């Protein structure tokens, strides 16, 4: 059993290596078997479908993303600071590792097997990680008295993460088709940070007074 478990772990590491170095399209049972030095049937024994293999990579990657983002906002001193740290860390991670990003967030949508029920245990473990991720940012937002509480700290944290994933998706599309982006990544990241901070943090009292309509 111990030997079999080691072989299974080697398959997972091989699959991750294939995705990282050759791309998601090259992840096949044959490729994993060749890299580990086992038969294709041995891979299928542990992972009956490709999505079963993909899930073994996704969860550790999600845990790593969560820890990165929790650490990124840990020392934030205000809501704007937390938003900036979260966005820069999240976008930076995914743009540096596009193939793993595609595997984690797009594979289930593109692979026919991805429509299968992922299983309650897998979903519970994923929910634990996303809860930690959103909670870390939401706590920083809620602790800042200038944060617009009517937006809801938790849903704001979720929306910010979703926006980061959309950013990475569009960059990945441009990268895949060789489309030069008119605006540089640093500029766009700065704009995303400013856009969120512009709506999540209340304007200073003096600015709010200027916005009031004149009365006769």
Kindly state whether residues 71 and 7 are assigned to the same domain. no
Kindly state whether residues 112 and 24 are assigned to the same domain. no
Q: In the predicted model, is pLDDT for residue 103 greater than 90?
A: no
Residue 214 lies in a domain: no
Kindly state whether residues 123 and 197 are assigned to the same domain. yes
Kindly state whether residues 77 and 159 are assigned to the same domain. yes
Q: Which of 3-12, 27-36, 136-145, 154-163 has the lowest mean pLDDT?
A: 3-12
79: CATH: 1.10.357.10
For residues 18 and 35, the answer to whether their CB atoms sit within 8 Å is: yes
Kindly state whether residues 76 and 173 are assigned to the same domain. yes
CA gap 157, 204 in Å, rounded: 22
In 3D, which of 3, 116, 1 has the Cα closest to residue 54?
116
Count of domains forming the chain: 2
pLDDT (tens digit per residue) in 150-171 = 999 999 999 999 999 999 999 9
pLDDT given for residue 99 in this prediction: 84
CA gap 112, 107 in Å, rounded: 9
Which residues share a beta bridge with 201? 147
pTM of the predicted structure, to 2 decimals: 0.81
43: CATH: 1.10.10
Q: In the predicted model, is pLDDT for residue 40 greater than 70?
A: yes
Kindly state whether residues 44 and 64 are assigned to the same domain. no
């Amino acid at each position: 059993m111990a030997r079999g478990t080691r072989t299974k772990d080697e398959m997972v590491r091989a699959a991750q290596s294939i995705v990282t170095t050759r791309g998601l399209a090259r992840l096949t049972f044959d490729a994993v078997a060749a890299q580990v030095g086992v038969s294709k049937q041995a891979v299928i024994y542990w992972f009956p479908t490709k999505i079963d293999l993909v899930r073994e990579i996704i969860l550790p990657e999600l845990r790593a993303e969560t820890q990165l983002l929790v650490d990124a906002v840990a020392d934030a001193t205000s809501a704007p600071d937390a938003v900036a740290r979260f966005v820069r860390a999240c976008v930076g991670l995914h743009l540096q590792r596009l193939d793993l990003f595609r595997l984690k967030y797009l594979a289930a949508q593109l692979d026919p097997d991805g429509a299968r029920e992922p299983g309650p245990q897998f979903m519970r473990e994923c929910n634990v990680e996303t809860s930690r991720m959103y909670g870390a940012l939401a706590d920083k937002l809620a602790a800042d008295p200038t944060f617009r509480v009517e937006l809801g700290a938790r849903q704001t944290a979720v929306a910010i993460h979703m926006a980061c994933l959309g950013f990475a998706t569009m960059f990945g599309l441009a990268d895949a088709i060789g489309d030069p982006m008119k605006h540089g990544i640093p500029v766009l990241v700065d704009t995303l940070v400013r856009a969120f901070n512009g709506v999540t943090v209340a304007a200073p009292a003096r600015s709010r007074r200027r916005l009031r309509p004149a009365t006769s």
